[in-house]
Amino acid sequence: MAIKTTSIAQGGDGGRAVAEEKKGFRLNVFTGLIVGVLGYLFGHWMGNAIAGGYQQVVGSGQNDVAILLGFIFGTIGWFLGLGILNYPIQKMAGIEPPAEKYEYEPGVMKYFRYTLDNKVVGIQYLFGMLFYFFTAGLLAMGIRTELLSPTNHIWGPATYLEIVGEHGTMMMMMMTSVVMGPFGNYLVPLMIGSKRVAFPRLEAAAFWFTPAAYIILLSALWQGGFQSGWTGYAPLSIQQGVGQDAYLFSFALLGFSMITSSINMTATIINYRAPGMRWSRLPMIAWGMITVAFTMLLSVPILIDGLYVMGLDRSVQTAMLYAGHGGSSFLWENLFWFFGHPEVYLLALPGFGLTMEILPVFARKPLFGYRTAVAGMVGVAVLSFFVWQHHLFQSGMNPDMRPLFMLTTELISIPTGFIYLVGLGTLWRARMRFDVPMLFMLAVFFNFLFGGITGVYVSDVPVNVTVHGSYFVMAHFHYTIMGQLIFAVMGAIYYYSPLYFGIKLNEKWGKIHFWTMFVSFNSTFLPLFVLGLLGMPRRVFEYAARLQHLNQWVTISSYVLGLSLTFFVITFVWQLAVTRPKSPLNPWQSRGLEWQVGYPIPPGNFDKIPVILSGPYEYGDPNALPVADLKPVEPSAVGVSSGGEI
Amino acid sequence: MTTTESTSEFTQAEGRSHVRKIVGIWLVVAIIADYFVWFVYGPHMPPGAMTDQARGQQFDIKVISVLAIPVLLFLWTFGFYSIAKFRGGRDRPDGYYVKGNVKTQTAWYVITATLVLFLAGFGTYELIVPAGAGGGEGPSPIWTPSTPVKLVVQVIAQQWRFTYRWPQFGGMETTSINLPVNTQIQFDVTSIDVIHDFWAYQLGVKADANPDVNNVAYAKTLQLGRFTVRCDELCGIWHGAMYNYGNVVSQQQFYNWATQMQKQNATVTKLLPKFALTYTPSYTGAGGGYYPSGDPNGTTA
Ligand code: HEM
Ligand SMILES: [Cu+2]
Ligand SMILES: [Cu+2]
């Protein structure tokens, strides 16, 4: 299939910072907040007016309809106040919206506005995600503090579970976007030689869903929280107070965010590749993004559907998830995990994309087995849809299907293993440079190994009987997500700071951050495998006295981990805002196209659509062509107009 | 794909010598590690050997460990060896230009696929033969014990306690649990409110307690001793406090305990709903009252 990527498709100013042509006053975060609050109040009033009789406890004001309508109108207000809806409303009203006009905007105010510049959106995402990550991380410290003692309680059981639920939900919903947001949006157009993304409005809207989801999720704490954990099993989640509405609504909002950003990502990668950017030359980050985007597009709607059903059960008192009234508590478990399992892989794939992108640069070698790497990612993405019931082995649902789900789950280890083959092959006879980003990438492989290997334990049904629902599973997935995804993201921040901000973060501080984080992470999570095997269930505020020493060890380690991350934030912000250590251009001597445009990256990325001449990882080949011709005379003259060739 | 050496710097002989060293180191550590895993730690691995099912799980953990640990060690050996040997620097040339190697890649695919398929087959065998390996098998299990079930225990979970009903002892309900040794036992696990999970750690039994569902799990007791029962599915505020202890005792002791409890509880048992596989909670859900389920399932006791 040859997709014509003519220069017309790439032209225009669509991807650039666009001012909706209003001098002086422009809509921003604050107008968004104001209109959002007004929307919430309106929705809440309306909910009480139309469904006052549906109060959970009469006279308590705990009316789920009012809360949910408040959230709905609040979010619409937020979008209106930010100006996101101007364009579609004008279009629908038949008014031609003002032409998009490029206008370079200095200063930081542009980050607090709805903007169509993919690089601004990337930065918004980067800081948003770090903010969400640190909020949830702080909650984790709260969890560990409670577990210092098996019997002395700091929070008490209700607050403890609220913290557990907030931590888990915040992490699991936000971190889905921790790579696509800051790195996918920013880098993919650069890497594939495009001046813009396909749907800048969707991309920008995707970001603006996240602060709304964040605020709404946290607002649960003022409403008594929710004690169902991030998995929200019914009927517990139906029984809970209105805090659960915040859970379901914010999770759904983030679902919409994932869908919108995936649509943009898929369309961009398929249609906006420069001439010569064949599928076989596509950078690993782009492969990570397109596999994740497909996984999101197919799985997230199921989550939203499940949450919608939960919302109905809670607000207008249907009984779809409630046993004994015609519904079934198995329904939610199925809907949730049909999304939930692909989700865990859509947390892993971007991490691998980043790792395989960065590894060759510091190994000074080509990526070993490019096709194997792609097959690994595609294989994981596809298989991830066929394994969800491994979370339900002991649930009593479909027990005869257990051998099948055991098989499919274990099969996933094969494509996952491909990625290790690629990693090992790339290190083989390399000339490794141990800069900070490389340390993080090596740690990704080290950490994920524990996650992957324990995955084989949890997927063996007899072993699963012992470990299901215990700290063993908790350690398993923290190794895969924190140990893999977050380490990859940290490495990528060090790696891309020169490109994003023109600064090179201090090596020594970076190494201090790396080593403290690496050691304390392992020291926090390795003992959790043991705790699980010794019989400690998850999400408990009380545990056997004989497990106290291990738990204290873990808690202390987690404090060190927290300090290490705090150290990162302080040094990062300090260097970014105060010292700004200037970076040379392309300090890592990367071949990546994204590094060839110079700093600051010109607004449209490229003056002319580049012509891609060779793959991005040709290190060690003295005869390799440069990755692209940035000043092609006339694309068609070079005879590579068929950029999308497979 | 390039398989030949591109520069004289990277000779085949040198490559082979690296391989030999890596494999040599790996073999030594892997054999030592496996010895320790199987013979030293193996017998103490969780969840112990109090039942047939627990013993099976322990065996599975051992088998997976002796397979997984060499894999882990191979990657470690390779990784640390590379970090030690394959170093470069700003002033040094780039690494070995190689983009693939058919033999290595094929070997990798074949080995990982074999391991994985073996594990899936092994896991299936270990699931079916010991009658579901102690896990919840839903209302109509197809993998049942080879010897007849001697004792049925119904576990009723509710926020936030477990109670046990004994159909062979007049349908009495107790708050504690004792089990006879050397006995094939069937657990019927259900809930009268939200989802809980009956986890008897040392027995190797784990089954979700779902409202309106009878989740069956089997275990054959082999050793005397105390076991822990914990709720293993988040069920609300006091989930963390939802645990108690039970004992595996001699058959005579068990019989004495059960008949005595039956006598002692007779007045209460009369007030209970008839024994059924599932129950519906009382209208308010408060106070733990429950009724026979309106569900057709519930009347087949
Ligand atoms: C070799 C690959 C893997 C296998 C075979 C595997 C297998 C499993 C199985 C069987 C469970 C269910 C355990 C239980 O609750 O009884 C599980 C739980 C989980 N896994 Fe994995 N896994 C793998 C990789 C991953 C990756 C890459 C991630 C995420 C990046 C991940 C995240 C999770 C999470 C979040 C849970 C638990 C969710 C919860 O209960 O809250 N796993 N895994
Ligand atoms: Cu899963
Ligand atoms: Cu519980």
Residue B164 has a pLDDT of: 95
- For residue A384, the 8-state DSSP code is G
Q: Which two tokens stand for residue A436?
A: 């900070």
Dihedral (C-alpha) A511, A517, A518, A521: value to the nearest 10 degrees?
180
Asked whether the beta carbons of A542 and B242 are under 8 A apart, the reply is no
Residue B34 CA: distances (Å) to CA of A267, A450, A462, B27, B63: 50, 17, 21, 10, 10
The ipTM, to two decimals, is: 0.91
- B240: burial class by Cβ within 10 Å (0-12, 13-18, 19+)? buried
Residue B299 has a pLDDT of: 39
Residue B281 has a pLDDT of: 66
The residues in A 429-458 lying below 8 A from B, measured between CB atoms, are 429-434, 442, 445-446, 449, 453, 456-457
* pLDDT higher than threshold 90 for residue A86: no
Asked if residue B112 is part of any domain, the answer here is yes
The residue count for chain B: 301
* pLDDT higher than threshold 60 for residue B286: no
Whether residues B57 and A466 touch (CB distance < 8 A) is answered with yes
Residue B278 has a pLDDT of: 87
pLDDT band at A12 (very low <50, low <70, confident <90, very high): very low
Averaged pLDDT, B163-191: 94
* pLDDT higher than threshold 90 for residue A574: yes
How far, in Å, from the CA of A237 to the mean position of ligand 2? 21
Whether residues B101 and A543 touch (CB distance < 8 A) is answered with no
Average pLDDT, chain B: 88
If we measure between CA atoms, which residue out of A575, A594, A119 comes closest to residue A361? A594
pLDDT digits (tens, 9 = 90+) for B59-83: 999 999 999 999 999 999 999 999 9
Residue B285 has a pLDDT of: 47
Whether residues B215 and A395 touch (CB distance < 8 A) is answered with yes
Same domain, B122 and B222: no
| DSSP E strands, A294-431 | none
Asked if residue B155 is part of any domain, the answer here is yes
CATH of the domain at B187: 2.60.40.420
* pLDDT higher than threshold 60 for residue A1: no
A323 lines ligand 1 (CB under 6 A): no
pLDDT band at A14 (very low <50, low <70, confident <90, very high): very low
Q: How close is the nearest chain B Cα to the Cα of A24, in Å?
A: 50
Asked if residue B233 is part of any domain, the answer here is yes
Q: Which atom of ligand 1 is nearest to the CA of A485?
A: 30
Asked if residue B160 is part of any domain, the answer here is yes
Alpha-helical runs (H) found in A23-117: 29-51, 64-82, 86-92
Q: How close is the nearest chain A Cα to the Cα of B207, in Å?
A: 5
**Domain span at residue B230?**
151-271
Number of domains in chain B: 2
Residue B94 has a pLDDT of: 85
Averaged pLDDT, B208-222: 93
User: What is the spatial distance between Cα A577 and Cα A582, in angstroms, rounded to a whole number?
Assistant: 12
Q: Could you tell which of A295, A344, A444 is best to mutate to test the pocket of ligand 1, judged by most ligand atoms within 8 Å of the CB?
A: A344
Residue B36 has a pLDDT of: 94
Whether residues A430 and B96 touch (CB distance < 8 A) is answered with yes
pLDDT digits (tens, 9 = 90+) for A439-454: 999 999 999 999 999 9
Same domain, B76 and B29: yes
In Å, the largest CA–CA distance within chain A is: 79
Q: How close is the nearest chain A Cα to the Cα of B228, in Å?
A: 9
Residue B272 has a pLDDT of: 85
Kindly give the interhelix angle for A118-146 and A185-192, rounded to the nearest 10 degrees: 140
All domains of chain A in start order, with CATH: 108-579 (1.20.210.10)
Q: Which amino acid residue places its CA nearest to atom 22 of ligand 1?
A: A455
Asked if residue B279 is part of any domain, the answer here is no
Lowest mean pLDDT among A237-241, A296-300, B163-167: A237-241
User: What is the spatial distance between Cα A98 and Cα B8, in angstroms, rounded to a whole number?
Assistant: 64
Residue B284 has a pLDDT of: 44
A408 lines ligand 1 (CB under 6 A): no
Residue B289 has a pLDDT of: 55
pTM, rounded to two decimals: 0.91
Averaged pLDDT, B167-171: 92
Asked whether the beta carbons of A149 and A543 are under 8 A apart, the reply is no
Q: Which ligand is nearest to the CA of A167?
A: 1
B238 Cβ contact list (under 8 Å, min separation 6): A157, B159, B160
Q: Could you tell which of A391, A401, A457 is best to mutate to test the pocket of ligand 1, judged by most ligand atoms within 8 Å of the CB?
A: A391
Same domain, B109 and B155: no
Residue A24 has a pLDDT of: 60
3-state secondary structure string, A572-613? HHHHHHHHCCECCCCCCCCCCHHHCCCCCCCCCCCCCCCEEC
Averaged pLDDT, A377-390: 94
* pLDDT higher than threshold 80 for residue A8: no
Residue B20 has a pLDDT of: 93
In Å, the largest CA–CA distance within chain B is: 93
Averaged pLDDT, B124-144: 89
* pLDDT higher than threshold 70 for residue B1: no
Residue A58 has a pLDDT of: 59
Same domain, B264 and B187: yes
A344 lines ligand 1 (CB under 6 A): yes
Residue A217 CA: distances (Å) to CA of A124, A135, A225, A313: 19, 12, 9, 19
User: What is the spatial distance between Cα A595 and Cα A497, in angstroms, rounded to a whole number?
Assistant: 12
* pLDDT higher than threshold 80 for residue A62: no
Dihedral (C-alpha) A51, A54, A55, A57: value to the nearest 10 degrees?
160
Whether residues B97 and A542 touch (CB distance < 8 A) is answered with no
Instruction: Name chain B contacts of A157, Cβ cutoff 8 Å.
Output: 237-241
pLDDT digits (tens, 9 = 90+) for A105-150: 777 888 898 888 888 999 999 999 999 999 999 999 999 999 999 8
Asked if residue B90 is part of any domain, the answer here is no
Asked whether the beta carbons of B255 and B180 are under 8 A apart, the reply is yes
Residue A56 has a pLDDT of: 66
Same domain, B158 and B255: yes
Same domain, B16 and B114: yes
Same domain, B115 and B196: no
Residue A466 at interface with chain B, using a CB cutoff of 8 Å: yes
Residue B189 has a pLDDT of: 95
If we measure between CA atoms, which residue out of A469, A181, A176 comes closest to residue A339? A176
Same domain, B160 and B59: no
Q: Which ligand is nearest to the CA of B196?
A: 3
A292 lines ligand 1 (CB under 6 A): no
Asked whether the beta carbons of A192 and A268 are under 8 A apart, the reply is yes
Residue B290 has a pLDDT of: 62
Asked if residue B73 is part of any domain, the answer here is yes
Asked if residue B212 is part of any domain, the answer here is yes
Averaged pLDDT, A334-361: 94
Same domain, B76 and B178: no
* pLDDT higher than threshold 60 for residue B93: yes
pLDDT digits (tens, 9 = 90+) for A546-563: 999 999 999 999 999 999
Averaged pLDDT, A157-167: 93
Q: Which ligand is nearest to the CA of A541?
A: 3
pLDDT digits (tens, 9 = 90+) for B263-279: 999 988 888 888 889 88
Average pLDDT, chain A: 89
User: What is the spatial distance between Cα A403 and Cα A67, in angstroms, rounded to a whole number?
Assistant: 43
Whether residues B208 and A228 touch (CB distance < 8 A) is answered with no
A452 lines ligand 1 (CB under 6 A): yes
Whether residues A233 and B135 touch (CB distance < 8 A) is answered with no
A204 lines ligand 1 (CB under 6 A): no
* pLDDT higher than threshold 50 for residue A642: no
As a whole number of Å, the end-to-end CA separation of chain B is 67
A295 lines ligand 1 (CB under 6 A): no
3-state secondary structure string, A277-314? CCHHHCCHHHHHHHHHHHHHHHHHHHHHHHHHHHHHHH
Same domain, B164 and B69: no
Same domain, B166 and B230: yes
Residue A106 CA: distances (Å) to CA of A15, A103, A110, A111, A181: 17, 10, 8, 10, 22
User: What is the spatial distance between Cα A373 and Cα A281, in angstroms, rounded to a whole number?
Assistant: 12
In chain A, the percentage of residues whose pLDDT exceeds 70 is 92
A131 Cβ contact list (under 8 Å, min separation 6): A214
